[in-house]
Structure 1
Amino acid sequence: MYFKQTEYESSPEFLASQHYINFTTTISDVGVRADENGRKYVLAGTVIGADGKAATTSTVSSQAVIGILFSTVDVTHGPQPGALMAEGYVIEARLKQAIDNSGTLQEEIKTSLTTKCPKITLR
């Protein structure tokens, strides 16, 4: 008998309220690392820059942050459309960049997000 165990990962729920507004944008595949199966995913809760890439402390000085990725996007075969949150309440510690930085959002990203997206409220 054939048996294959598959582990599934999920993103933490980062919404603090049911009120949110999303728009469609193109999510870039540049700089996204492939997993052990060769798939490339940009995870929900990732702060996205104007070029469609995940925002980093080095890129926010040269470009604007445009929102937070609402749901995970598979970019294995190139750039793909994704839902970008432009308004709503968010739990800051559960955003992708905050999880990667021990639970706090880097000041550069936080400042750019609150300046460029004033209708996104961090909790």
Structure 2
Amino acid sequence: MSKFVVNNYTNNKEILRVLDHYVGIPVTVSDENISLVDGKKIVPAGTIIGGKIAPRLENDGEIVVEKNTQGGATGSAGAGVDAEGVLLYDVDVTHGPAAGSMVIHGFIKLSKLPKAPVADAKAALKQITFTV
């Protein structure tokens, strides 16, 4: 039996400072540890992300999770995997992992991020410049 889902589309929040100078790659965004808000699980644009278990930049099929942590996630799956990019647009993971785009090079507006990047995340994102 198939599932019927109704999507309401709205304007996306723009996190890029310079719209024509960035590099993004396709990713699959995990639905784990995402809270339900108004019946939906949304990973917001501007979330600092990286591979769950292994670096996404080295493993095309690697699912991504939030990686805006100081000192890494010692002792957990993905320990030692640093921040690798910034989620370009909101991703709806209500019905499971979903496709998104990860910016790996470009200029990002700090004021548009859901959480400010910690020092370790900023250091890991060598090709991203955060601006006000």
Contact 2:68-2:83 within 8 A present in 1 as well: no
CA distance in 2, matches of 1:33, 1:58: 22
Aligned residues between the structures = 105
What are the ranges of 5 or more consecutive residues in structure 1 without an aligned counterpart?
1-7, 99-104
The 5-angstrom pairing of residues 28-107 of structure 1 reads 28-36=30-38, 38-51=39-52, 52-57=64-69, 60=72, 62-98=80-116, 105-107=117-119
Encode CA deviations 1:6-51: one digit per residue, 9 max, x unaligned.
xx98765321112111110110000000012x21000111111211
Partner in structure 1 of residue 127 of structure 2? 119
Instruction: Report which of the two has the higher share of helix.
Output: 1
Partner in structure 2 of residue 4 of structure 1? none
For normalisation by structure 2, the TM-score amounts to 0.68
Partner in structure 1 of residue 3 of structure 2? none
Q: Taking structure 1 as reference, are residues 122 and 56 closer, same or farther at Cα in structure 2, changes over 3 Å only?
A: closer
User: Is the partner of 2:105 in helix, strand or coil?
Assistant: strand
CA distance in 1, matches of 2:111, 2:24: 20
Encode CA deviations 1:47-94: one digit per residue, 9 max, x unaligned.
112111112325735312121100111001111111111111112232
**C-alpha RMSD of matched pairs (Å):** 2.3
What are the ranges of 5 or more consecutive residues in structure 2 without an aligned counterpart?
1-8, 53-63, 74-79
Percentage identity across paired residues of the two chains: 32
CA distance in 1, matches of 2:42, 2:50: 16
For normalisation by structure 1, the TM-score amounts to 0.73
Deviation of the 1:109 alpha carbon: 2.3
Q: Taking structure 1 as reference, are residues 59 and 43 closer, same or farther at Cα in structure 2, changes over 3 Å only?
A: farther
Contact 1:47-1:96 within 8 A present in 2 as well: no
